[in-house]
Structure 1
């Protein structure tokens, strides 16, 4: 069954980093904030929720996808980035609907399943 894209309320890009790459992540964050209509989330230096390492989230509306994602493709500077839609199904959004730049990291999908059923 095909799904209509109108169920996508926004997109999230999770920019992963560690101590050695935090400065690179900060430069990318600064450029995203200055150059695009995005909402920058808080820094999480340690794993949180389903995310296996430090990251921050960048939220953007569907009309920004064609601007933000190509820029990230060319400017992620070796960082791993998860990009996913928000449709109300967190498990599917972070797995079957997701795309990755860099290495595909192993997410804690069990965490998402637990919060989705509560």
Structure 2
């Protein structure tokens, strides 16, 4: 696996799941929080923000980036994972500063203002 350029200070990973993968996703969320020590967001079994699938989020830094991406690729067991930069320019973070592990999922980008630049 080729690791994408690591150009930003902060990142989010959104892990997507459905009814058939919900139990595994919950286990993975627990592992990310308790074994890797990364913060995780709510376990969303409804659509939230731009996400058109159930999901949860984790946050990590530029320093953690290479190890986390490699770990996630080995442990995601087919789940789609969107990884994006966190710059404050949400539209650009979800369109230009993004890469996928697994199959890309559509996003509802209408929730973002594309003209808002990062702080």
Partner SS for 1:84: strand
Once residues 55 and 83 of structure 2 are traced to their aligned partners in structure 1, the CA distance between those partners, rounded to angstroms, is 12
Q: Structure 1 stretches (4+) deviating beyond 2 angstroms?
A: none
1:89 corresponds to: 89
- CA-to-partner distance for each residue in 1:68-111, whole Å, 9 max, x for gaps? 11100111111111000101111111111101011111101111
2:73 corresponds to: 73
Q: In the comparison of the two structures, how many residue pairs are matched?
A: 112
Once residues 62 and 38 of structure 1 are traced to their aligned partners in structure 2, the CA distance between those partners, rounded to angstroms, is 13
Query: Given the alignment of the two structures, is residue 45 of structure 1 paired with residue 45 of structure 2, yes or no?
Result: yes
Offset, 1:40? 0.8
Unaligned 5+ segments in structure 2 are 1-6
Higher helix share: 1
